[in-house]
Amino acid sequence: MPSATARPRKYIHAVRETLAEEMEADADVVVIGIDVAAGSVYGATKGLAERFGPERVMDTPIAEAGVVGAAVGAAMAGLRPVVEVMYMDFISVCLDPIVNQAAKLRYMTGGGVRIPLVIRTQTGGGRSSGAQHSQSLEGMLAHVPGLKVFLPSDPRDVADLLRAAIRDDGPVVFVENRRLYNSPTPDGPWETLPPGRARIVAPGDDVTVIAWGRMVGDALAACQDERLAGVGVEVIDLRTLVPLDLETLLASVRRTGRALVVHEAVEGFGPGAEIAMRLTEELLYEIEGPIRRLGALQAPIPYSPPLEEAVLPGPASIAGAVRALLDD
């Protein structure tokens, strides 16, 4: 039996075990989505149907707009649905219930309704999944007032943030990264942080790298690049885009004087631009040079491996971008 304090073996186990714990703790928590009873495409809901029955682990037709819309209505009427949207790209076929309904109904009713809804989805480029199964659309979602956006990189944060998302009385988009599903839980001490608190995963005094999801690991890998030998790189895992922990970022960049925001989402009009600007507004006269961004190129994610590699950021391009910052 998993418990709240047990250490999940891998990222995917953290999803599954946290769902089970929250379903155990609260009969109003229901899991809804395509293939969820069968365990869902990457196994995140495996075993839940057997344990909690088809009435709480509900398979749906492939009809995301209707399913997410129904989940919003169910949340308004007292359930705590966790609805799975199989790929983040498919968010675009159910934008109305997310953008116009879930995000706005609490506000439009003058606070008259709670919408305790979690939309679990996953993204992750680099697997030749093509342009409709590889997008990172978190910036688009974070742009909409009313939506919270969580993007854990560490299995322990998967558990902590998914629990927080399910217990939240408003809509949360919970973005998993499929290329992290098999990553094991690291050893070492762990401090549970609430949403809206960033985590410093590597301390350093020369430059700050802000990342989330799979880019956290790539940023840590970039620190080993020979171009950064002897450089104190502070890597921050943002964990949640909304709420945004500007305080931790400001404290770090004020100390290092330089910052790079890295994300898998395309760079143009992306979340990195917002974060860089928010920091610049506060720190313009305290920093050594412009705060830079590194995202995917402004292109649909291509299929062919060398093309896809050219579009996505990775340890080498992160190291290059950090080096360029230092050499500015």
What is the set of active-site residues?
133
117 burial class (0-12, 13-18, 19+ CB within 10 angstroms)? buried
Distance, in Å, from the CA atom of 199 to the CA atom of 184, rounded to the nearest integer, reads 18
Q: For the purposes of burial, counting CB atoms within 10 Å of the CB of 243, is it exposed (0-12), middle (13-18) or buried (19 or more)?
A: middle
What CA–CA distance (Å, rounded) separates 229 from 220?
Answer: 13
HSE of 168 in the Cβ direction (CA atoms, 13 Å)? 26
Is the Cβ of residue 9 or residue 51 nearer to another protein in the bound state?
51
Element (H, E) at 190: none
In the complex with another protein, the residue whose CB is nearer, 53 or 305, is: 53
Of residues 145 and 189, the one with the C-beta less far from another protein: 145
| Rounded Cα gap, residues 84 and 36, in angstroms | 8
State the nearest-atom distance from the C-beta of 243 to another protein, in Å.
7
Q: How far is the CB of 70 from another protein (least distance, A)?
A: 4
Report in angstroms how near the CB of residue 241 gets to another protein at its nearest: 13
Our CB check for another protein shows the closer of 246 and 297 to be 246
CB of 116 to another protein, least distance (A): 8
For residue 302, give the DSSP letter: P
Residues forming the site for another protein (CB under 8 A): 28, 30, 55-56, 58, 60-61, 63, 65-79, 81, 96-97, 100-101, 105-116, 145-146, 148, 168-170, 242-243
